[in-house]
Structure 1
Amino acid sequence: MVTAAVNPFLDGNFAPVREEITADDLKIIGELPPDLSGMFVRNGPNPQWQPKGQYHWFDGDGMLHGVRISNGKASYRDRYVRTKGWQIEHEAGKAVWSGLLEPPQMDNPEGAYKNVANTALVWHAGQFFALWEGGAPYAIKVPELETIGEYTYNGKLQSAFTAHPKVDPITGEMMFFGYSFAPPYLHYSVVSAEGELMKTVPIELPMGVMMHDFAITANYTIFMDLPMTFNPMRMQKGEPGLKFEKDRASRFGIVPRHGDNNDVRWFETPACFVWHTLNAYEQGDEVILLGCRVNSANMFATEDVESDSQSNIPRMHRWRFNMKDGSVREESLDDAASEFPRINDNFLGQPTRYGYAGKIGQGSFEGIIKYDLNSGKSQSHEFGKDRCGGEAVFVPRGNGEDEGWVMTFVYDSSKDTSELVIVDAQNITSEPVARVLIPQRVPYGFHGDWISEEKLQKSK
C-alpha cells in the first residue's frame, strides 16, 4: 500500500489551528516587566479549509495571534483576517482558490488569486493593517483583532501594497510600493503622517520582478530590481513563470523620497536576492543598505536545500552606494545564517548600531542574533533543545537604541506547546525575563509588530 506524502506545510507546527480563542490570566514563567504595556501581534498562514490542489506555506489564510500585556498580566487571542476571499470560502464551506503552486484561476470571477492578508502588519496614523503584497491592506480593530475591512485610502490606492511598508519615525510618513507582472511593473507611494495617500508614481523596470522588500533613509527610498523575474513565455513551456536568473545582474534604485522615475539612480551588482532589509541610512556621500542576502533563491522550494549548497543561505550583508561617483561596495557581515531582520523602529532610516535577526539552524530559527554593526561582532540567544522561534520584534523601553526587549513566539516540539518569549535586548545571551505560556499551539508564521499602550488608546 502506497501512503500519500504528507505536505510539510500542513504537518507539525506548520499545521493550522482551527479555533479562535480568548484566554486571560496566562501563566508566566519569570516576571513581566512592570513598564511593559501593549500588545504583541504576529501574522501568519492558517488555511481555513483543506487546501485545493498543491499547498504552499504562502497560501494560508491570514491569522493574527496577539498577546496583550498590562500590569504584569497577559492575555491571548487568535483571529482570522476575514478577507473577502475568506468570507467567500467560509460561506462555501470549502476552498475555492488553489494556491501559488497551481496555475492561476483566470476563470474565477473573484480573482485569479486570493488576498490572504497573511504576511505582515503595520501601524500607521491610528490604524492597524494586515498585509499581503499582492493586494490591498486589511484594517484591523485592536485589541480585539477583528477585521474592519479592505482599506484603499478612499479609493486612491492604485496598486498592490507591499507587505513591508516603511514608517519614518521622525516625519511620520509611510512609504510603500506595489509590484506587478504587467507594465508598469512598479508603483511607489507616499502616505502623510495623517494617513492621506499623497502621491503614487510609476517606476520603470525592464521586466516584471518579485520585489518583497525595500528600504528608506532620511531622504531616499531604495528599490531592489533583483533577478527573480516573471516571464509568461516560460509558463507556456511548462516552466515556472517566476524564476531566479543567476546570469542577470541585480540593480538597486535610489530615488529622493518625494521624487519620481526621472530621479532614480541605478546601481548594479552581481546577481543576488534579498527577502528582507534590516535598515538603510546616509553617511557622507554614501547610502548604506543592510539586509539578509542570498546568492540565489528558489521561490517555491518545498524540499531542504542540499547541505553542501551555500547559494540559498541568507547572511547579513552591507552595501555602500556612492551617490557622488556611482560606485558600489559590498561585504558580508556574518558567517551565520540569519533572516527576518529587525531593528528598533524608532531609528528606522537613521544610522544604527544594533540589529536583530532569527538565527537559522536545521531549517528553522534556533535563536536570536544581536548584531553590533559598529564592532562587527554578534551575540546570540538560544531557544534551547527542541525549541524553534520566529521573527524577533524589538519593543522600546527608553531612548537608547538597544534599550528594550525582543520578543517572539517559540514552539517546543517535545511538548507541542507555544509561548511568547521576552528577552532583555541589552542582555541578549541571558535567560528570558519572562515566558508567557499560550493555551494553544501557535503555528509558525511570518512577521509581527508591537502596539504600545499609547497607540492602543489612540486606535481608530
Structure 2
Amino acid sequence: MSTIVGKRKRKSEHPYLTGNFAPVTDTFQSTPCSYIGSIPSELLGGQYVRNGGNPVSNSDLGRDAHWFDGDGMLAGVLFKRSSSGSNRVTPHFVNQYILTDVCLSSFENTNLRTPILPSIATLVSPIASLIVILIRIFRSIFLVLLSHLPGSQQAIKRISVANTGIIYHDGRALATCESGPPMRVRLPGLETVGWYDGKQAEGEEVLSQGTDEQDARFGGKGVLSFMKEWTTGHPKVDPCTGEMLLFHCTFVAPYVHYSVIPRERKPGTPLPNLLNAPVPGCSGGKMMHDFGVSRNNTVILDLPLTLTPFNLLRNHPVVCFEPNSPARFGVFPRRQPEKVKWFETDGCCIFHTANTWDENDAHGNTAAVNLLTCRLTSASLVFSAGNLTPPPHPHRKEVVTKRPRMSFFAKYDLDDDIDNTEKLGELEPLLSEQRHAKVAYDATPPCKDPPISSDDEEQCRLYYYRFSLDSPIPTVTHQYALSSIPFEFPTLNPAVDMSAAKYIYGCSTSHESFGAALGKATKIDVLVKMDVLTLLTRAQNRRPEPVTGCVDTRSISQIFSSAEDQDPIKAFRMPDGWYAQEARFVSRDKPESEDDGYLLFYAFNEAQLNRFGECPEGAVSELWIIDAKNMQDIIARISLPQRVPYGLHGNWFTEDQIRLQRPVELTRTMPVDKPKTLWSKIKGTMIAASG
C-alpha cells in the first residue's frame, strides 16, 4: 500500500494531490472481497470497471497538477461465479495501470519526479508565462526523444495516457483519451494489449494485407497523420447496429475528422469503415471532449473553449475560454459529415452529453435532432480542477449566499429543513455504525481549498437543445435547463441510448449553488434520477425562457423534502462524510420498465482521512449497488482491499462480452531491471536534471 505518515507535515496544499484524489501505488490481481447485502443475479459473471488518472511520477507534490492529468489506471470488480457453476458469487477486485508508452517510460525512468507530459494546469493557467509553457513543452519533447535512443525499453510513439473512459466494441474493451487512439485491454484481468488503430490492436494476430482501403487506419497518411489519431474520450457504440462512432480533433483545418467502425462479428455483410472523414466548418482547434449521436445523426460540439498552441501567438494560454464567442453545433447524417449544418447560440462549455435522439416527421424523415447535455455557463471547472482561480464570469453578479461557501474538502451538514433520516427500506443495516461518520479533522485545515466562485451565474445543469432540420436556416428551436440543480457525469439504461430515453441519471451536490461548490461534481454526495420526458412535457405547457430558462426550479433541499411519489426528480443522498463517483446503470434480466435496474459506483468514507486530510495506509473504498428505480435502497456494499481514487468514467461488461473477447497473442509488460551501463547512467542523470 502507498503509505503517508499521519503525523508528518504536509508537503503540498494542492487538493488534487491529497486525500482520495491522491494516486495509489499498489496494483492487485484478482482479489476476493467481502460484502454485505445481496448480489443481484444479473451481475453474475460480469465486471464493473472504472478509469481515471493515477500519475506514476508523483514525488514532487508542489508541481502543477490537474484532475484530468495522470497515467490511466483501471479499477474493476468481477462478480465471479463459484467453481461449481451455481448462482453463488464472490466479488473479486483488480486494478492495473494502463501500460501506455508514457506510463512504461515513466516506470523505466525512476528518476522522474514529475510526469512526462505537461499538466493541463500549466496549459490553462492565465498567469503562466510563455517561457514557462515553452520550457514544459520542450522538456516533454526532450524526454520523448530520449526514449527513442538506444538503451530505452519503451519508445514513446504516442503521448496518450488513456485515462478517461472504457468502452466495449466488437470483442474489444478499449480505454480512451483524446490525446491518442484507444488502447485495448483484456477483461477481466485488465492487462494492456496495445493501441487500437481502427482496424486491429497491437498484440492481436496480424491480419493479412489487403487493399489500401482495407488497410486504412486512424490518422491515414501524411505528416500530420499522428494528430488525426487523437480520438475523443467518449466514443459511442450503437446498441442496435453495433457501430462505434468517434471523432478526431486537431490543431489544423479542417480541425475535426470523423470515423464510423461497424461491428464485424455480425451476421450478414457489415457496412464499410468510414475513417478520418473531415467535418467541414469547425471554427478552430477546440477542447472537444464529447459529442452527440442519435440513431441516424451525429452532433459535433464546436464550443468557445479553444485548445491550440497557436493561442500562444495571441498571448493566451494553450487552453483558453472565450465567453463572448458563440457555441456552435454541427449536425449531420451519421455517414455523411460533408452534409453538416451548423447551429449557433450562446456560448457555453459542455464536457458530457447525456443522450441524443431523432424526431421524425409523418414520412419518417428526421425533422429535428434533440440533445441532452451537462451544460456549464463557464469554463470555471477547468480552472478549479487545476487549483487555479477561475476568471470572473462575464455576467458575474455579486450575490448574498444563503449559507457559508463550501469547498471540496469542507465537512458540512444539509439544510435544517431536510429530513436527515436515510430512506433505505429493508437494507438500513448496510450503512451500519459508520453511517453518520464525520471527517476526523481538527482545527488545522487539511489543505488549501480549491478556488471557487459564489456567483449564481456559474451553473452546470442538465440542458435540452432541439435542432430543427426543417427550417431553411439552421434554428435552435428549444434551449433550456430541465432542472436548476447541479448535474454532471450522466448515464442511462444503455438499451435506450440514442433514442427518446425516459430516465437520465447523474451526479450532483447537496450544496445549493454549483458556483459555490465548483468541484462538488468531483466530490459527489448526491446521485440524481431525472424523468426527462415528463419534464419536457411540462415545458411544452409552459415554455421556459430560451437559453436561461429552467423547467424545474426547485433546490436540492426541496427535492429531498418532496413526498410526491411521481416526482420527476429523485435523489439518493450519501451518508455524511461519504462521497460517490460516477454511477453506471445495469438492467435487470427481465425489466418491467426502463428504470428497472441498478446503479453501481465506488464510494469512499472520508472519516478515514488523517488530521492533514491525507489517506493513511489501509484506507479503503467500497463498491455500492443501489436500486435505480426507487433511488433509496442500497442492495449491496462490497469492501475493497484498497481505496479507489476519485476518477473519471466507468462501464459495465457482461459475462458474454468477457467470454466473446477477440483472442490476444501478446500483452504489454512492465519494464525489467537491467545492469547499469555508462550510457544508462548518463541518461538517468539527464532525466533527473529535467525534473
Superposition TM-score, scaled by structure 1 size: 0.94
CA distance, structure 2, for counterparts of residue 51 and residue 242 of structure 1 = 26
Which of residues 382, 405, 413 is equivalent to 2:598? 405
Which of residues 654, 676, 679 is equivalent to 1:452? 654
Q: Contact (CA 8 Å) 1:31, 1:72: kept in 2 or not? A: no
Alignment of 1:141 with 2:186, yes or no, is yes
Partner of residue 322, structure 1: 468
CA distance, structure 2, for counterparts of residue 256 and residue 98 of structure 1 = 37
Q: Contact (CA 8 Å) 1:85, 1:114: kept in 2 or not? A: yes
Partner of residue 80, structure 1: 97
CA RMSD of aligned residues (A): 2.1
Q: Contact (CA 8 Å) 2:605, 2:621: kept in 1 or not? A: yes
CA distance, structure 2, for counterparts of residue 248 and residue 257 of structure 1 = 27
Match of 1:402, as an amino acid? D
Seen in structure 2, the aligned counterparts of structure 1 residues 5 and 50 have a Cα distance that, compared at 3 Å, is closer
Q: Contact (CA 8 Å) 2:622, 2:639: kept in 1 or not? A: yes
CA distance, structure 2, for counterparts of residue 231 and residue 33 of structure 1 = 47
Q: Contact (CA 8 Å) 1:390, 1:409: kept in 2 or not? A: yes
Seen in structure 2, the aligned counterparts of structure 1 residues 312 and 178 have a Cα distance that, compared at 3 Å, is farther
Seen in structure 2, the aligned counterparts of structure 1 residues 22 and 388 have a Cα distance that, compared at 3 Å, is same
Partner of residue 277, structure 1: 353
Deviation at 1:134, TM superposition (A): 1.0
Partner of residue 186, structure 1: 256
Q: Contact (CA 8 Å) 1:294, 1:311: kept in 2 or not? A: no
CA distance, structure 1, for counterparts of residue 311 and residue 331 of structure 2 = 30
Task: Tell me the secondary structure at the aligned position of residue 365 of structure 1.
Answer: coil
Match of 2:109, as an amino acid? A
Q: Deviations over 1:194-248 (max 9, x none)?
A: 2774332111212111111001111100111100023545424653121111110
Task: Tell me the secondary structure at the aligned position of residue 96 of structure 2.
Answer: strand
Task: Tell me the secondary structure at the aligned position of residue 341 of structure 1.
Answer: strand
Match of 1:340, as an amino acid? F
CA distance, structure 2, for counterparts of residue 254 and residue 100 of structure 1 = 29
Deviates more, 1:306-315 or 1:170-179: 306-315
Task: Tell me the secondary structure at the aligned position of residue 454 of structure 1.
Answer: helix
Seen in structure 2, the aligned counterparts of structure 1 residues 112 and 198 have a Cα distance that, compared at 3 Å, is closer
Alignment of 1:382 with 2:382, yes or no, is no
Matches within 5 A, 1:13-412: 13-22=20-29, 24-37=31-44, 38-50=46-58, 53-70=63-80, 71-93=88-110, 94=112, 95-102=115-122, 103=133, 104=137, 105-107=140-142, 108-109=144-145, 114-154=159-199, 156-158=217-219, 159=228, 160-194=230-264, 197-204=273-280, 205-230=282-307, 232=309, 234-236=311-313, 238-261=315-338, 263-284=339-360, 285-298=367-380, 299-301=382-384, 302-303=387-388, 304=450, 306-325=452-471, 326-328=474-476, 329-361=478-510, 362=517, 363=520, 364-376=523-535, 377-397=568-588, 398-399=590-591, 400-412=593-605
Q: Contact (CA 8 Å) 2:459, 2:486: kept in 1 or not? A: yes
Match of 2:279, as an amino acid? I
Deviates more, 1:155-164 or 1:299-308: 299-308
CA distance, structure 2, for counterparts of residue 378 and residue 120 of structure 1 = 27
Match of 2:47, as an amino acid? M
CA distance, structure 1, for counterparts of residue 173 and residue 483 of structure 2 = 34
Q: Contact (CA 8 Å) 2:286, 2:308: kept in 1 or not? A: no
Which of residues 604, 628, 647 is equivalent to 1:425? 628
Q: Contact (CA 8 Å) 1:305, 1:312: kept in 2 or not? A: no
Match of 2:466, as an amino acid? R
CA distance, structure 1, for counterparts of residue 505 and residue 70 of structure 2 = 27
Q: Contact (CA 8 Å) 1:156, 1:197: kept in 2 or not? A: no
CA distance, structure 2, for counterparts of residue 106 and residue 21 of structure 1 = 33
Deviates more, 1:89-98 or 1:436-445: 89-98
CA distance, structure 2, for counterparts of residue 113 and residue 11 of structure 1 = 29
CA distance, structure 2, for counterparts of residue 153 and residue 75 of structure 1 = 32
Task: Tell me the secondary structure at the aligned position of residue 104 of structure 2.
Answer: helix
Q: Contact (CA 8 Å) 2:461, 2:486: kept in 1 or not? A: yes
Q: Deviations over 1:279-306 (max 9, x none)?
A: 0101232211001101111333325454
Match of 2:73, as an amino acid? M
Q: Contact (CA 8 Å) 2:323, 2:378: kept in 1 or not? A: yes
CA distance, structure 2, for counterparts of residue 237 and residue 211 of structure 1 = 21
Seen in structure 2, the aligned counterparts of structure 1 residues 87 and 4 have a Cα distance that, compared at 3 Å, is closer
Q: Contact (CA 8 Å) 1:99, 1:113: kept in 2 or not? A: no
CA distance, structure 2, for counterparts of residue 86 and residue 233 of structure 1 = 28
Deviation at 1:114, TM superposition (A): 3.2
Deviates more, 1:228-237 or 1:251-260: 228-237
Seen in structure 2, the aligned counterparts of structure 1 residues 9 and 372 have a Cα distance that, compared at 3 Å, is same
CA distance, structure 2, for counterparts of residue 3 and residue 434 of structure 1 = 36
Match of 2:357, as an amino acid? Y
CA distance, structure 1, for counterparts of residue 314 and residue 343 of structure 2 = 33
CA distance, structure 1, for counterparts of residue 463 and residue 347 of structure 2 = 14
Superposition TM-score, scaled by structure 2 size: 0.63
Deviation at 1:335, TM superposition (A): 1.0
Q: Contact (CA 8 Å) 1:419, 1:438: kept in 2 or not? A: yes
CA distance, structure 1, for counterparts of residue 305 and residue 173 of structure 2 = 30
Task: State which structure, 1 or 2, has the greater radius of gyration over its C-alpha atoms.
Answer: 2
CA distance, structure 2, for counterparts of residue 343 and residue 27 of structure 1 = 28
Match of 1:191, as an amino acid? I
Match of 2:378, as an amino acid? S
Q: Contact (CA 8 Å) 2:218, 2:275: kept in 1 or not? A: no
Alignment of 1:439 with 2:521, yes or no, is no
Number of equivalenced pairs: 457
Q: Contact (CA 8 Å) 1:390, 1:410: kept in 2 or not? A: yes
Partner of residue 612, structure 2: none
- Structure 2: which 5+ residue stretches go unaligned? 1-8, 81-87, 123-132, 148-155, 200-215, 220-227, 266-271, 361-366, 389-449, 511-516, 536-567, 609-618, 663-691
Seen in structure 2, the aligned counterparts of structure 1 residues 113 and 150 have a Cα distance that, compared at 3 Å, is closer
Deviates more, 1:21-30 or 1:337-346: 21-30
Task: Tell me the secondary structure at the aligned position of residue 218 of structure 1.
Answer: coil
Deviation at 1:345, TM superposition (A): 1.2
Q: Deviations over 1:47-81 (max 9, x none)?
A: 11226742222221100000001433211011000
User: Is the helix fraction higher in 1 or 2?
Assistant: 2
What is the aligned-residue identity percentage? 33
Seen in structure 2, the aligned counterparts of structure 1 residues 98 and 269 have a Cα distance that, compared at 3 Å, is closer
Task: Tell me the secondary structure at the aligned position of residue 651 of structure 2.
Answer: strand
User: Is the strand fraction higher in 1 or 2?
Assistant: 1
Deviates more, 1:173-182 or 1:238-247: 238-247
Deviates more, 1:86-95 or 1:380-389: 86-95
Deviation at 1:312, TM superposition (A): 3.8
Task: Tell me the secondary structure at the aligned position of residue 41 of structure 2.
Answer: coil
Match of 1:83, as an amino acid? T
Match of 1:422, as an amino acid? I
